[in-house]
Amino acid sequence: MKYRQIERRISKAVNVGGITIGAGAPISIQSMTTTQTADVKATLEQINRLAEAGCDLVRVAVATKQDAAALSEIVAASPVPIIADVHFNFERALEAIRAGAHKIRLNPGTISDRQAVRTIIEACKDAHIPIRVGVNEGSVIYRFNQVRREKQFARPLDEIMVEAIEEYLEIFHECNFSDLVLSAKSHDAATTIAVNRELARRYDYPLHLGLTHAGTVRTGSVRSICAVATLLAEGIGDTIRISLAGDPVEEVALAKELLAALRLREPEEVEIIACPTCGRTTADVAAIADQLRQALVDIKQHITVAVMGCVVNGPGEAGQVDVALCCGKNNASIFREGKFVRTVPMEKVIDEMITEVRKVADSRKVRK
């Protein structure tokens, strides 16, 4: 069955440590370390975990001179490009550039002095590294105050955020610097959608998508995916981060799942599809799906596996996936590549399904 593909907005290409952002390149996944950057061992351990999970780019906070001093060792040992997140003190940006950071993140709300920004731009030019201009809801408070003074209370936040980026970009254009990625984040999904739609309309720079302080795994996942998925489905976005409070590795797992769901990235793992179950179901579909997911985690190929609870959707679903299980009361039917293989007792379905999935994996290795 042929599925429709998303037509993506084509932006400029920006190179970050060998990874292309924009220009139709695969959408890259980002996350950010939660360690103190000055703690090289802990930071590298987390970077390695993120990279193993599938993260393409990692951002680290460069808040202190000690953080900047640790950066050269971190960059040298990191398996993925490192982005330096700099606020308030432009000297930290210069130190991060000298340490070999692959990209600098600046915020108009925290480094607004034009001469300081020009100094950073010239240093990035010399080092041939890009800059992300990132505005978030919390960093445009100075504009809220201005709006209050002008009694323009009806102006929406997304307009204020676009205005902040527009003014900041004047400095970059004056310096003839276009090696830029833009981002605008709010904790509010509707605002994030609106501001990024407008940025996509106005500029051809690549866009980094995400929410800011979205929340814990449950609330943060829903809010982030509402905004990011909407924009990606419209073809907007070149690199993403699903921001969650907690272990950043969880961000990467969700980002991969989202990109796979929109067919914007080919998964390199077994994809489990399971029916939501109903009164017709007699098998524990959720438990079977979870056991299969855990047992097949070592397979680094995109193999689709369906676990269906009854005969209503089961046989039809079997024709769309690599391996399918259609559960009955005492027995279950197994299909491989749309063809019926055999009927097995329910107590043996896990072992039998594992066998069939591994057969598919082995056959694809041989074909390669």
**Are 17 and 51 within 8 A, CB to CB?**
no
**pTM (predicted TM-score):** 0.88
Do the strands 180-185 and 103-106 form a parallel or antiparallel pair, or are they unpaired? Answer: unpaired
Are residue 59 and residue 123 in the same domain, yes or no? yes
Using a 10 angstrom Cβ sphere, with 0-12 exposed, 13-18 middle and 19 or more buried, the burial of residue 346 is: middle
316 and 256, same structural domain?
no
Q: Do 182 and 331 fall into the same domain?
A: no
Domain-embedded: residue 9: no
Q: How far is CA 66 from CA 72, 96, 123, 352, in A?
A: 11, 11, 20, 55
Domain boundary among 261, 280, 306: 261
Domain boundary, last residue among 218, 244, 261 = 261
Total count of domains within the chain: 2
Which residue range is the domain that position 332 belongs to?
A: 270-367
Backbone phi and psi for residue 364, each to the nearest 5 degrees, phi listed first: -70, -35
The Cα 164–Cα 138 span in angstroms is 12
Evaluate whether residue 38 is within a structural domain: yes
**To 10 degrees, what angle do helices 114-127 and 157-174 make?**
60
Domain boundary among 204, 237, 261: 261
Helix (H, G, I), strand (E, B) or coil at 242: coil
Q: What is the pLDDT along the chain (368 residues), one digit of tens a residue?
A: 567 889 999 999 999 999 999 999 999 999 999 999 999 999 999 999 999 999 999 999 999 999 999 999 999 999 999 999 998 899 999 999 999 999 999 988 888 788 999 999 999 999 999 999 999 887 776 555 555 555 555 678 899 899 999 999 999 999 999 999 999 999 899 999 999 999 999 999 999 999 987 778 888 899 999 999 999 999 999 999 999 988 999 999 999 999 999 999 888 889 998 888 888 888 889 999 999 999 999 998 899 999 988 776 666 767 788 999 998 888 999 999 888 999 999 999 999 999 999 999 998 876 65
In a domain, residue 3? The reply is: no
Does residue 135 share a domain with residue 33? Answer: yes
CATH code at 316?
3.30.413.10
Which of helix, strand or coil describes residue 208? strand
Asked if 295 and 241 sit in the same domain, the reply is no
Helix (H) / strand (E) containing 54: none
Whole-number Å distance between alpha carbons of 155 and 44: 43
